[in-house]
Chains A and B, each alone.
Chain A
């Protein structure tokens, strides 16, 4: 079956005509004329494009697609789409309006993406951070945990109270991986370190994120790591003084050199451009991509001068070893929190274990919410 944009649209359009009345048909034909020579790429965002974090970086990827292909591509996006049924409606609408490729950029869009993809077999879907694939659904994510390892190292070295606060969003594997990776590397350089974890149950709620940061700081944390999308915890830490933070998903450089001492930067642009190109060429196939520092999908923001030079050098060495693959962030010996053995000495975690991670490593005393 030909896969270029116009024909893909044609397939959708066939279904469309069966479903719709004459008026809608006329409208559909009008869009068909436009879609003829353009590949239409849709993006579904969980937060506003101005969140300064997660969605901001995905939108940068979208803009890079536009810049790279110019007139040959048309992008559409919908921001602040709630995870769940609402997202299904948004995706359906995008597909009906002739999108050839749709990126759904939050974990909670996983089942909606699979459902909508089943109804539109000729539209390509790309779901971020999930694990359910289909013939027309690829999954992609970045190995953020490699960045978390570097954060954990710096945090463990720099904490004076030995209490590290962690604002978590939802208890999904990606977030749990981040906590484990940060903990392992903090513990490695500072055996006395303790993690306090607060689950915010939101990706984006600046007031709540700020409150969580304040509570952690009041309870003695002098490092606050966040896995939520806004810059609110940075502002709260700045206000409190003597607390360090790390940019999440985006550089958040406006909060440097203190409290923000470094950051994890998601760089989706190369992937988005490559996938759009594949749709144009008709070479798109369902794939599972999971790239890290080495491939450039995870960037480490500049380590500020607030970090002592020796710690900075160690962090950069760690980054280099993660990038060239000589070191894996989950290297044994490691036990699970319940005391059972996980990785033997020198053994590294396989991707299957990492993708479905639902346990803390030994030393974290908290429980993971079910």
Chain B
């Protein structure tokens, strides 16, 4: 065993980057669920974002445009879900599962000519002297822009939900859509916007995997991250900062267990491999001992006549 091989600074910096896809996807899903929509299509929207961002980046040479188009791609796919559930009043669970299957299929079709290509690299944000601060500089100020965009989105979602009128309306729609409708709010329009926001975030999360974390396009490369993001929203009791905590815990312990394995520590590997899931669940379940609960109208279909 050689723990000196593990550099804690690199470890923390790596966990922040590793957690970003889950963080983005979970935050987007949180907004949709707070509006009362259960979208199980996160995985499908992520992989669609991953492939659209990859294709656009390779063709334009700009990762930034790639990320923007990944968000557009994810949001476009989510419109399909919005149409099914908000206009055609289809079951949300079935529609979400269908969206995942569809996303996986269409992404492998779109990405056929992009296997084995190297995407343009997104440079890290230049913080000037800040990144030279010992320890903190490398942990906080040495990342690509999307890491900061992710944090900004979490902060923005929290502020909006908690302090603004728009956030109040969104929560009202999610808690009791009949009451919100009676007050004159456009339930379907608000939900469609929330779904699109969720799609855009998931798309960016997917593109983070294909453009920065791996970076390459491979069919099915999100490999279940979308499902982890979905679970995270529930365990985080639909609260943005807990989503952040959960994502960092999950990403952090995943990184830590890989590092411990590499260092040859004497903990059996099977315990290490399951630890990210267990620790994240335990911590978030303990936190949710307060009276937080799911939005009242989550997963229910709204029609003005009922």
Q: Which residues of A contact B (CB under 8 A)?
A: 47-52, 80, 165, 171, 196-199, 201-202, 204-208, 210-212, 214-216, 218-220, 230-232, 235-236, 238-239, 254-255, 365-367, 369-370
Contact = CB atoms under 8 A, between A and B. Distances in A.
A196 B2 CA distance: 11
B290 interface: no
Contacts of A369: 268-270
B220 A211 contact: no
Contacts of B218: 48, 50-52, 206, 230-232
B214 A210 contact: yes
A207 B211 CA distance: 11
A230 B112 CA distance: 15
Contacts of B213: 207, 210-211
A216 B5 CA distance: 10
A215 B264 contact: no
Interface string B201-218: 000000001000111101
22 contacts: A48-B219, A50-B115, A50-B219, A52-B115, A196-B262, A196-B263, A199-B261, A204-B220, A205-B224, A207-B18, A207-B209, A207-B222, A207-B225, A211-B258, A212-B258, A215-B255, A219-B6, A230-B218, A235-B214, A236-B214, A255-B116, A366-B264
A255 B221 CA distance: 18
Given A206-B221, A207-B21, A231-B116, A219 B216 contact: no
Contact of B18 (A80, A211, A367): A211
Contacts, number: 110
B278 interface: no
Contacts of A201: 270, 273
Interface string B223-234: 111000000000
A198 B261 contact: yes
B7 interface: yes
A367 B220 contact: no
B262 A207 contact: no
B193 interface: no
B270 A207 contact: no
Nearest to B119: A235
Nearest to B273: A201
Given A207-B209, A235-B216, 6 more contacts: A48-B218, A197-B261, A206-B214, A215-B258, A219-B262, A367-B268
